Structure 1
Amino acid sequence: MQEVQQVIREDLGKEIPDLFLSFDDTPLGAASLAQVHKAVLHDGRTVAVKVQHPKVQAQSSKDILLMEVLVLAVKQLFPNFEFMWLVDEAKKSLPLELDFLNEGKNAEKVARMLKHFDFLKVPQIYWELSTKRVLLMEFVEGGQVNDRAYMEKNQIDVNEISSHLGKMYSEMIFVNGFVHCDPHPGNVLVRKHPDTGKAEIVLLDHGLYQVLTEEFRLDYCHLWQSLIWTNMERVKEYSQRLGAAELYPLFACMLTARSWDSVKRGISQAPATATEDSEIRGNAASYLPEISQLLNHVPRQMLLILKTNDLLRSIETTLGTRSSASSFLNMSRCCIRALAEHRKRDACSFFRRIQISFSEAFSLWQINLHELLLRVKGLRLVCCISTLLGWLTRAPH
């Protein structure tokens, strides 16, 4: 608390009692860069106060230098170890994460971009009491996104939350090219809206975002479209455009967390099984040199995207909603919209833009129809099973 008081005094020019009616000494959460405390302002507003550890700014440059020395040392011992990109990424991202004013701007930007999602809550930033090392935000309570017990207790549908999460991140990646890159469960909360009672996702910690270039975003759109609709020639083409070269099958497996056989059959055809997951884990160690080589050659933007994919997949696995057809179809919708928007911007005539809009509407209608057929098929299967079970219970023993 002495260090917290010191940072607040240095940055805001006042003592804690002068700024807050109450201030909880015990942090709500603590991490390597900062910790968060619950407090109440003198006007009655309950806030979350994020305070940076005082020595982090000075220590970070030494940490990066030490990381660089260690990675170079390991490289000398193991020539196939290609992880210098870790140092390059740390050099770029750490200064941004240490600037809480940048985090506040990111929070407001993503709130504006995704304001059409009524299920998303981004806490408001209170700029009058925010600095590079202190960030004041609206206090929002909720359970972690991977806490099934909390959702069951509060009657929150895990499938609805998983669908919302997929829509939100697909919109960030494919449509806007501005991606929240740290969706671990502590940064993604769920709650019932206090007024409407609808399920909401609360997105926290906006320090780390990836800004995708237009070329990368469109190539990534094409690649996922090809993976979803099992167009293997285009999977190869767009994987290679993204730096995978002849390792494109491995790249496709890394993106989808599916085996190459599943990718070729169609990732939306069936969810991953425990056997397939075990097979992937078993093969990962033997392919470590190739994985290292691949990570060293893909665009730097891809690295945080891969991290984001893995964190989202972990949440879906915990909720038991991983690799549902619905999530892939939502991704496909965003890809279609993003690619159509790009074509309309490049269109040379009004008639051409109308054509693109009709083609977009038709493609989206096809996806809706496909999703409806999947649901009908699922309902028929449920009805058949129910009928069979009913017959078995009535049948004489």
Structure 2
Amino acid sequence: MALRLLKVPTLATAVFASSGFYLFNRRLDFNDLSLIRFGRAAATTAVISYDYLTAFKYVEYGTEEYWALKSKVHQRSAERLRDLCCSNRGTFIKVGQHLGALDYLLPEEYTSTLKVLHSQAPQSSMEEIEQVIREELGKELPELFAFFDETPQGAASLAQVHKAVLHDGRTVAVKVQHPKVQRQSSKDILVMEVLLRGVRWLFPDFAFMWLVEEAKKNMPLELDFLNEGHNSEMISKKLSHLTFLKVPAIHWDLSTKRVLTMEFAEGGQVNDREYMKEHDINVNEISEKLGKMYSEMIFIHGFVHCDPHPGNVLVRKGQNSNQTEIVLLDHGLYQTLSKSTSQKTHNWEPRTTECTVPSANWTQPACTLKTAFINKTKHMIRGCSCRLRMTNVQLPSAAQLAFRGFPQSQIHLGRKKTNPYASECLAIQSYMRQHI
């Protein structure tokens, strides 16, 4: 009996030691364990929920003290959410980035805090990158590329991009998916759904369950790089007449679901004013071209690029001309609009002109509408690119307006929540409806 009892701890020690050796060889990161990731997310959700439930107990609603306290609760909750995204990475960072772009829905404390996730995406090690390329393309790096820069050009929530040179001398960008994202994404989305349902039970007015539905629908598309390649070729073909737009060509022989090899494109981010100043790029020209490009996507083709953050929109001077160019990257997610949504886009005809509503003193225009789309059957005008030059618009009794002859014309100049000059827009809209 004593001998048998001695064998038990000996066996346990052997099992423990062999397990430890196995985990060491696999280089297991505890952040990859579903239990750890779920526990971290659940704890953060519980703390944030408790904060909102208890913080306002002794403060009268609507007072200055109430609003000041609410801002503080928003801020510390946003910081907790940011830390969770940075710890769990992958899908969590992707959703956090999406939340950071919802300026028109979320409090400023959330959007300003979560915006940093665009520059804090995790990086995979070179060993991990080589492993993914080996699994997907079946060859080692030296067999595929004459040069492969180990320092990534950029890292995102789902992948990172490396500059490389093919054996024929062409420079390419190689987008490689983080090795663990594919495996973790479905579990992470399930965790988010469970926790958000709990939040909605606590706070019936919580209206963000749609985030989970969007993630369920979009994440598989974004994790399929072949889908991204096909999207890029489709938008390049649809907008081929826009000579200022550059979409990198895909190298299909070096592309799979987890590796995408494309033409390398240089440029500065669209929000980098210093780069544009240094390279003599006109900011207003870029704004007008962006307006025209996205207007055609929405009103003409009903096929819209859905991730236009600054890292995916580059600007540069043309290599063979002095024309200002826009480089559009990351085509993983597009929205196809229905005919009703895109206003039966086949009836919309683009027309670039200048439609001016004068200001009260007639010294400069209050609003200049650079691009419009004319509906050929309903005689409607939809403004696509406008800029207001005065903060206070007092409309005169008469104005010289372009596009005469459209008695039922409508001008759409922006939504109240997203346009700082919404009241001026509404005044101009009303005026133009009466006088065109």
Report the TM-score, using the length of structure 2 for normalisation.
0.53
Determine the structure 2 residue equivalent to 1:334. Answer: 373
The correspondence for 1:143, drawn from 253, 268, 271, is 268
- Pair 1:200–1:361, CA change in 2 (3 A): farther
What does residue 195 of structure 2 align with?
70
Counterpart of 1:125?
Answer: 250
| Other-structure match for 1:177 | 302
With over 3 angstroms needed to count, the CA separation of the structure-2 counterparts of 1:192 and 1:42, relative to structure 1, is same
CA distance, structure 1, for counterparts of residue 320 and residue 331 of structure 2: 26
Map 1:177-196 onto structure 2 (within 5 A). Answer: 177-196=302-321
Residues 174 and 338 of structure 1 are in contact (CA less than 8 Å); yes or no, is this contact kept in structure 2?
no
Letter in 2 for 1:151: M
- In 2, are the aligned partners of 1:11 and 1:133 still within 8 Å (CA)? yes
Instruction: Name the structure 1 match of 2:48.
Output: none
CA–CA distance in structure 2, aligned partners of residues 173 and 45 of structure 1: 34
* One-letter amino acid matched to 1:173: I
Q: Do the aligned partners of 2:245 and 2:327 also contact (CA within 8 Å) in 1? A: yes
Q: 1:46 to 1:340 in 2, by over 3 A?
A: farther
Change (3 A) 1:45 1:34: same
SS of 2:191's partner is helix
Q: Which runs of 5+ in 2 are unaligned?
A: 1-125, 348-356, 360-365, 381-402, 411-436
Residues 23-55 of structure 1 deviation map (CA, whole Å, 9 limit, x = unaligned): 000100001100000000000000000000111
> How far off its partner does 1:10 sit?
0.5
1:102 to 2:141 alignment:
no
Q: Which has the higher contact order (CA 8 A, sep 6+)?
A: 1
- C-alpha change, 1:338 and 1:200, in structure 2 (3 Å) is farther
**1: CA distance between counterparts of 2:296 and 2:404?**
17
Q: Which amino acid aligns with 1:157?
A: N
Contact 1:33 1:53 in 2 (8 A): yes
Q: Aligned pair in 2 of structure 1 residues 216, 158: CA closer, same or farther (>3 Å)?
A: same
Percent of pairs with identical residues: 64
Amino acid at match of 2:252: W
Matched, 1:91 2:216: yes
Aligned to 1:112: 237
Q: Please list, as runs of the form range in 1=range in 2, the aligned pairs for 1:1-397 lying within 5 A after superposition.
A: 1-218=126-343, 325-326=367-368, 328-330=369-371, 333-334=372-373, 336=375
Return the offset for 1:334.
Answer: 2.7
Contact 1:100 1:135 in 2 (8 A): yes
Q: 2:173 touches 2:262 (CA, 8 Å); kept in 1? A: yes
User: What is the CA–CA distance in structure 2 between the aligned matches of 1:34 and 1:20, rounded to whole Å?
Assistant: 19
Q: Secondary structure at 1:39's aligned position in 2?
A: strand
After superposition, give the CA deviation of every residue in 1:253-305 in whole Å (9 maximum; x if it has no partner).
xxxxxxxxxxxxxxx888xxxxxxxxxxxxxxxxxxxxxxxxxxxxxxxxxxx
| Kept after mapping to 2: 8 A contact 1:174/1:335 | no
In structure 1, distance between residues paired with 2:288 and 2:224: 32
Q: d(CA) in 2 for partners of 1:215 and 1:122?
A: 28
Instruction: Classify the secondary structure of the residue corresponding to 1:76.
Output: helix
Partner Cα separation in structure 1 for residue 332 and residue 174 of structure 2: 15
Query: SS of the residue aligned with 1:35?
Result: strand
Q: Residue 213 of structure 1 aligns to a residue in which SS?
A: coil
Q: Is the 8 A contact 1:221 1:335 kept in 2?
A: no
Distance in 1, matches of 2:370 and 2:322, equals: 27
The 1:35/1:269 distance shift into structure 2, 3 A limit, reads farther
Question: Residue type matched to 1:104 in 2?
Answer: G
Counterparts of 1:199 and 1:143 in 2: how far apart (Å)? 12
> How far has the Cα of 1:335 moved from its partner?
5.4
CA contact (8 A) 1:193 1:200 kept: yes
CA–CA separation in structure 2 for the residues paired with 1:145 and 1:155:
13
Q: Which letter maps to 1:133?
A: R
Give the letter aligned to residue 128 of structure 1.
D
Assess if the C-alpha contact under 8 Å between 1:175 and 1:338 holds in 2.
Answer: no
In 2, distance between residues paired with 1:109 and 1:59? 30
Shift of 1:76: 1.0
Deviation at 1:325, TM superposition (A): 3.9
TM (normalized to structure 1)? 0.58
Please identify the structure whose Cα radius of gyration is greater: 2
Distance in 1, matches of 2:272 and 2:378, equals 36
Would the alpha carbon gap of residues 41 and 163 (structure 1) be closer, same or farther in structure 2, given more than 3 Å must change?
same
**Aligned residue identity for 2:375:** I
Q: Is the 8 A contact 1:175 1:337 kept in 2?
A: no
User: Equivalents in 2 of 1:217, 1:162: separation in Å?
Assistant: 22
Pick closer, same or farther for the CA change 1:337–1:186 going to 2, 3 Å.
farther
C-alpha distance in 2 between matches for 1:338 and 1:134 = 45
Q: Give the drift of 1:336.
A: 2.8
CA contact (8 A) 1:143 1:190 kept: yes
Q: Any idea what SS the aligned residue of 2:308 has?
A: coil
Q: 1:339 to 1:168 in 2, by over 3 A?
A: farther
Change (3 A) 1:41 1:340: farther
Count residues with an aligned counterpart.
Answer: 248
| Residue type of the alignment partner of 2:373 | C
- The answer to which structure has the higher helix fraction is 1
Alpha carbons 1:188, 1:203 under 8 Å: kept: yes
In 2 relative to 1, CA 337–17 (structure 1 residues): closer, same or farther, beyond 3 Å? farther
Please give the per-residue CA displacement for 1:373-392, whole angstroms capped at 9, x wherever unaligned: xxxxxxxxxxxxxxxxxxxx
